[in-house]
Structure formats: structure tokens, C-alpha cells
Amino acid sequence: MQKPLMIVALGVLAAGMAAGQTSAPCDRQCLEGFVNQYLTALAAKDVSKAPFAQNARYTENAKEIPLAKAAEGLWALPVSLGDYKFYIADPQSGQAAFVGLVKEAGKPALLSMRLKVENRKISEVESVVVRNMDEGNLWTLKTPPAEFTRALAQEERVPRGELVRISNAYFDAIVASNGKSVPWHDECYRLENGMWTAGPKLPPELAVNEPKAAPPQPGAKVSPAFARGPCTAAIDSGVFALIESIRPRRTPVVDEERGVTWGVYMFNHPGVETVKMPDGTTQRAAYFVGQPNSMPMSELFKIKGGKIRDIMAVGVVNKYKSGSGWE
């Protein structure tokens, strides 16, 4: 006797579920769950505690490390997780990002990480880890910026492609020493490896932790790169002319609900001694003089109402034009 089609369909579905297969998308909660499984495995130094795909790739600071012999970087030393953390979820691409302050062998390290999930398995992990953190900058890492975890109102959202375009406009502006084409939010600020480098003020949840500043020394000069002026000020000053290019660029994680993008962008510095400023004068380069290098910079942007509000950069210094490992 032939079974009814409904019974057959239910039987196929049950068999698929028993085999661990599902067509249901991995939503925000699901993606964050995979991140947490990965972090648990990392802390335990046990790859088997996370559901890795057979050919999963892992890079740390643009260097590929085989997970089967994960004996380098974060996988080599004791790692403990802290309270400072937040997530970026992109269900459309099956990817999530994570930023957190961890302790590696008892010392603070800033971790920015991307994780890709395919068929309920972790297929890619890309980490940028900043060690030797400046203790004087840790006060900005006591509380995560609230906007990175806050959903936007519908009228504040822009399409996915526009989020990527605006993120790239920031890097175009740096290379051109002209920030006029970037849509800046009135509350824009920037943190780089915890250091407050741009924006005249921080959001309240960060500002409340600011230590009392020592009075400035008479005649002391601060480079525009670190002067905490409006987000466009350092770009327009020309101080970043020491950057040869910002290539390659990748923006793989786009959280449309929150208006947040996560990417890795290679800052290439040839180590020039001087730079030509917009007014035609020549000045000594502000940093990396005689030190050619490339920085895989993990950058996060909160784009609110189509304007860049929060900028967080997490980057390390690598060999000149060494690449990100994901080209």
C-alpha cells in the first residue's frame, strides 16, 4: 500500500534532521552561538570542542595556522575571556564577527575576529590580535560602545551595498587626503587599538571611564593624526600621505539590522621620511619613518542614518605588502 505523500515528506525531513542537516538559516542567535563555541574551544585548547569543517581555515594576524596543529598564537598560550565583548552578525552571508578583550598568558590582548558558518560547521576563522597593549588606553575598553549592539530604527537604515560603499569611502578619503566625500555623523569618533585618536568627545558609556588628564606641557605639539579633532580633520590635514595605499580591502561582515560593517583593510606604508601637505609644504612623516610595513587593520563602522558614527580599528604591523592571507 502506498504511503500518503505527507507521511513520506515527514519521514524525509526526520531523516535529514537525524543526519544533522537543516535548511533553516543561521540567524543572529545561531551565529553568536558558533562564536561562543569557538571561544570555548580556544580557551580549552581543544579543537574538538567546536564544530569545525574538515578543511576549516584559520589565520591570525594574516598568517595561516593549521587547526590540526594549532600550536601558534592564541592557540599556543593560556587564554581567558573577559567581560568586554560584542558581536556583529550577518545571516545573509553566514558570518559573524567578534571583538573582545582577552588575556593571553595573563596579559591583555585585543581580539577582532571573523567566523564563517557553512552547513552548521565553522569553515573560516580570521583573527587580528593586538598584544603588548598600552595600559594607558585600556580605559576605553572597559565598556563596549553601545551603538555597535543597538538595532537601528527603520528610517536610520541603508541597504547592504550602501553600507559597504560608505565603509570604503572612508579609505578612499584617507588615500586622497580629502574627507569631504565621507558622510560623517556629528558624533563621529575613532578608537585605534583602544587609543582615542579622533572625535572631540566620546559616547557617554566610554567617556565615564576617562582618567583625569595631566595638564598639557607648554609648547607641546600633537600630530593631527592623534589630535582628537573632528573625524575628517586628520584626513584633510594630509598627515596620512605617508600611506601608499589601502589594498586589498574586504568587507565580509555586514550587520544590516545594526548598521555595522566589519572588514580587514591592508594599510601599506613604504616608510617615507617626508610627506607633501595639501598646502604644498613638506613635513616629516608623523610615524613609520624608515620602517616599511603593511598593517592588516580590522575596522568596524557604525553607520547611522547613512553616516559614519563609531569607528573601531584593531591592527598589527606586518611585513611590507605581505597581504591578509585571504586574497
Same domain, 304 and 159: yes
Please indicate, yes or no, whether residues 185 and 304 belong to a single structural domain of this protein: yes
Of 203, 275, 209, which Cα lies nearest the Cα of 239? 275
Residue 37: which CATH number?
Answer: 3.10.450.50
Query: In the chain, how many domains are there?
Result: 2
Mean pLDDT of the chain: 91
φ/ψ of 219, rounded to 5, equals 80, 0
Say if 107 falls within a structural domain. yes
Which triple of cell numbers denotes residue 244? 601608499
Nearest to 94 by CA among 41, 35, 47: 35
Domain boundary among 92, 116, 134: 134
pLDDT tens profile 249-302:
999 999 999 999 999 999 999 999 999 998 899 999 999 999 999 999 999 999
CB 38 within 8 A of CB 50: yes
Residue 285 lies in a domain: yes
Strand residue runs (E) in 51-143: 52-60, 63-64, 79-90, 95-104, 107-118, 121-130
How would residue 16 be classed by pLDDT, with cut points 50, 70 and 90?
Answer: very low
Whether the predicted pLDDT of 44 surpasses 70 = yes
Q: Is the pLDDT of residue 5 over 70?
A: no
The pTM of the whole model exceeds 0.85: yes
Say if residue 204 is in the same domain as residue 288: yes
Residue 153 shares a structural domain with residue 119: no
Q: What residues form DSSP beta bridges with 295?
A: 267
Q: In the prediction, which pLDDT does 221 show?
A: 73
Query: What are the tens digits of pLDDT across the range 54-83?
Result: 999 999 999 999 987 767 899 999 999 999
Give the β-pairing of 107-118 and 95-104: antiparallel
Q: What is the pLDDT of residue 56?
A: 96
Question: Which domain, by its residues, includes 77?
Answer: 24-134
Same domain membership, residue 84 and residue 171: no
pLDDT at position 212 is: 86
pLDDT tens by residue, 77-101: 999 999 999 999 999 999 999 999 9
119 & 145 share domain:
no
